[in-house]
Structure 1
Amino acid sequence: MFLNSNLISFSPIPPKSTAKTCLEIPTMSEIMAVSKSQGLRIQLRTFGPFFKINAAGEKGDVEVGRAEGVIRPWFGGEKILHLDSMRMSRATLDMDRSLFGLGLFLGAVSVRYGFDLGCKRAQLLAINDSPLYHSKLVRFYSRMGFKVVHEVDGSSIGDLVHMLVWGGRGTRMDAHIQHLLVKWSKMFKPPHDRSLYSEKS
């Protein structure tokens, strides 16, 4: 499973976090704990602004997926999380979990890492190598919480420039990092923590 990222977004910056929202957002330690409970060993490596996330089975000897990206500075001092690639190995088929579930774990670590470094937005390009595969990618990332912002199909001069930058055609998708973490909170927050903020709502 592959995706590419770009440098342009048409989405507004979300408002600052409220106290209630902070309670809803899972921490990196909570995400890692849930991953471990599901038989996944996830490791985050950083190289300056670049990062790589590897997911292995419970024994840690077989890689089942990986994600790579970079934290990029943007206008006005903003930082943007660029998700460059996500790959699932054939070993994933032997595990008792869906590709979406594994992708969500990799995505959660990536997004939480970006959040911790001050990023407000995540960007990607769902690459269009074939119509069937492309439609599955768009559905996959839409289900995760990303929104379509632009179709890069080569029909304009601007698209041709973008294709040179990204290496192909596809669907540009954006997401607010804070919104993603809140959306995924039911999966990663302990039940007693979820009840705390649900009772106050």
Structure 2
Amino acid sequence: MINEPSPSLLERLELQASERGLLLRLQVGRPLGLWSLRLVVACPGPNGTAQLLGEMKGWAYGTSNGLQLDTMRVVPQSPAGVGDLVWAATMAWALEATPCSRARLLAIRDDERQHSRLVRYFRQRGFQLERDVAAALWDLPLRMVWGGAGALMSGSVEQVLERSLRSWRQSAA
């Protein structure tokens, strides 16, 4: 008898998504020794089409602080839990496929009210403020990477994963 390895957390999340009628797909590239990531959650449609409900884009490099998150989006009319699934699957991938134990992102400061909402949302996910990225010369590289000014935030991949899994499971109840 052959012992089959137990499925990874990412595989289990894909199965759970499928059980809720959702598609979870991950596209990973390895340009120049980096990992590029695009994770999507969609709803299957007619004739093999799919309606995008949520996505995360980012990249990682081979250090513990290497997960950089760029785009997180959830369509407003998405079913409950889609955002939690996007976060959980992204963090599961980072832990299973990269050496990353911390993630960074920039809460863009386009408008002060929206910026405050983003900072609050990311704090609820487990991110903490590192520093403000503004107009200083030393901020230029970060502004070029993330496309603007804002609050640079970081968090433990494991902690973000735990919070997201808890919310994902609660959304099924």
With the length of structure 2 as denominator, give the TM-score of the two structures: 0.77
Q: Give the corresponding residue for 1:61.
A: 50
| 1:111 shift after superposition | 1.0
143, 147, 160: which one aligns with 1:167: 147
User: 1:170: Cα distance to partner?
Assistant: 0.7
Where has structure 1 moved over 6 Å in runs of 4 or more? none
Identify the match of residue 148 of structure 1 among 113, 116, 129.
129
Task: Tell whether 2:9 aligns with 1:27.
Answer: yes
Q: Which amino acid aligns with 1:34?
A: Q
Aligned residue identity for 1:71: A
CA distances 1:43-90 after superposition (whole Å, capped 9, x unpaired): 00111111111111144621112211111134xxx461111111233x
Determine if the alignment matches structure 1 residue 72 to structure 2 residue 61: yes
Residues 65-144 of structure 1 aligned to structure 2 (within 5 Å): 65-74=54-63, 78=64, 80-89=66-75, 92-93=76-77, 95-97=78-80, 101-116=81-96, 117-144=98-125
Indicate the percent of aligned positions where both proteins have the same amino acid. 25
| Distance in 1 separating the partners of 2:86 and 2:119 | 17
How far residue 32 of structure 1 moved from its aligned partner, in angstroms, is 2.0
Aligned-residue offset at 1:187:
4.4
| Structure 2 stretches lacking a partner, 5+ long | 1-7
Is 1:43–2:32 an aligned residue pair?
no
Cα distance in 2 between the residues matched to 1:162 and 1:55: 28
The size of the alignment, in residue pairs, is: 154
**Are 1:81 and 1:121, in contact at CA under 8 Å, matched by a contact in 2?**
yes
CA contact (8 A) 1:31 1:188 kept: no
Consecutive unaligned residues in structure 1, runs of 5 or more: 1-25, 190-201
Mapped to 1, the partners of 2:57 and 2:165 lie a distance apart of 22
More strand by share: 2
